[in-house]
Amino acid sequence: MAGTSTTVDLGDLRARRGADVRGQIFLVLLVASVILAFAMVGAVFYDVTLDAWDIISQRFWDFLRMPSSSDPTKAGVAQGIRGSLLIALIVVATFPIGIAGAIYLEEYADDTWSTRLIQVTVRNLAGVPSIVYGLLGLAVFVQSLRGLTGGSSVIAAGLTLAVLVLPVVVITSAEAVRAVPPSLREGAYGLGATQWEVIRTQVVPAALPGILTGTVLAVARALGEAAPLLVIGAAGFYTTGNLDFLEQTQGAFTALPMNIANFARLPAETWRGHAAAASVVLLVLVFIVNLVAIIARARISKKLGR
């Protein structure tokens, strides 16, 4: 058999080199975008830390544990931290609803016009301004369900913010479920597993890192929202309640975004540092939430062998 020679098309080589150059340019643009994003976040953190440095260096621990006060030398954000954490717990408690909705849309629902309408509606709801959800919370959770929530309470605030972030949870969870390789499903079906067993043992564990990322983004957004809290009647300097837990959840409440907003409205010469210090506390709280999620995601991915 005579030897064969491989003929290289110079046009194909030039096309590949051109595509590689475009790929390198795209990579440079991506890296530049990431650096720019980190620079902007760093600039914000540096600016608020600089404004809050007097409080951070002199009485930061007292600022964290002291309640609200009209005296700037005694004012703190303990009530705001407690209110934000209670709201976050209520928001997280509603996430199974969003995750279940995403699994239904991706695994059970047929590709019909009604399913597509639901998906489009969920995506549109994710872009609705937060103050609209505040009006919804005022009408439903504060007024209509006053007997259950206690009116303008931390329960009403948590449910309002849960409704606000649920579309984000549904979208990110659906994307994570959709990204699971079909081979996992086919292999499980080939071994005789039912649809529920495939979802429970293959799809959900494989999609869990992506689902966790979406839920963390939702919690971070909920922690930073001030407009809905303002609409439903959150106070700026009131306690989240007495030592009784029921009073904490159904009484007057505040949260860190409300503390920041109220500090910023007071005379800048005296209270500007308080607003900046409360902003630092909120940023650190969001960072801790993200750090916990990153660690959990890394452990889940390691367990799955990815």
- Tally of structural domains, the chain: 1
Asked whether residue 42 is domain-assigned, the answer is no
Asked whether residue 16 is domain-assigned, the answer is no
Asked whether residue 6 is domain-assigned, the answer is no
The two tokens of residue 20 are 């590689």
Asked whether residue 15 is domain-assigned, the answer is no
Q: Residue 8 has what DSSP assignment?
A: P
Asked whether residue 207 is domain-assigned, the answer is yes
Looking at residue 250, its amino acid is Q
How far is 170 from 269, CA to CA, in rounded Å?
Answer: 44
- What residue ranges in the chain does DSSP mark as E strands? none
Q: Which of 78, 73, 157, 170 is nearest to 119 (CA)?
A: 170
Question: Is the Cβ–Cβ distance between 193 and 201 less than 8 Å?
Answer: yes
* pTM of structure: 0.81
The two tokens of residue 43 are 């600039």
- What residue ranges in 91-235 does DSSP mark as E strands? none
Looking at residue 23, its amino acid is G
Rounded to 5 degrees, φ, ψ at 182 are -60, -25
How far is 49 from 263, CA to CA, in rounded Å?
Answer: 15
Cα Rg for the chain, rounded, in angstroms?
25
Q: Which pLDDT value is given to residue 266? A: 77
Q: Which of 251, 275, 176 is nearest to 217 (CA)?
A: 176
Asked whether residue 8 is domain-assigned, the answer is no
Looking at residue 3, its amino acid is G
The two tokens of residue 240 are 């989240």
How far is 15 from 60, CA to CA, in rounded Å?
Answer: 60
Looking at residue 45, its amino acid is F
Q: Which pLDDT value is given to residue 241? A: 44
Q: Which pLDDT value is given to residue 286? A: 86
| Helix (H/G/I), strand (E/B), else coil: 93 | helix
Asked whether residue 133 is domain-assigned, the answer is yes
How far is 144 from 137, CA to CA, in rounded Å?
Answer: 9
Asked whether residue 270 is domain-assigned, the answer is yes
Residue range of the domain that includes 141: 52-303
Alpha carbon distances (Å) from 252 to 45, 236, 241: 31, 10, 6
Q: Which pLDDT value is given to residue 133? A: 92
CATH number at residue 169: 1.10.3720.10
Burial grade of 82 (CB within 10 A; 0-12, 13-18, 19 or more): buried
Q: Which pLDDT value is given to residue 271? A: 78
Q: Which pLDDT value is given to residue 14? A: 56
pLDDT tens column, 77-115: 888 888 888 889 999 999 999 999 999 999 888 888 988
Burial grade of 227 (CB within 10 A; 0-12, 13-18, 19 or more): middle
Question: Is the Cβ–Cβ distance between 232 and 158 less than 8 Å?
Answer: no
Q: Which pLDDT value is given to residue 232? A: 85
Question: Is the Cβ–Cβ distance between 66 and 78 less than 8 Å?
Answer: yes
Mean pLDDT by groups of 10 residues along the chain of 306 residues: 50 58 87 93 86 85 82 82 88 92 90 89 89 90 85 87 93 91 87 87 87 87 87 64 55 82 77 85 87 80 66
Instruction: Report CA torsion sign: 150, 151, 153, 155.
Output: positive
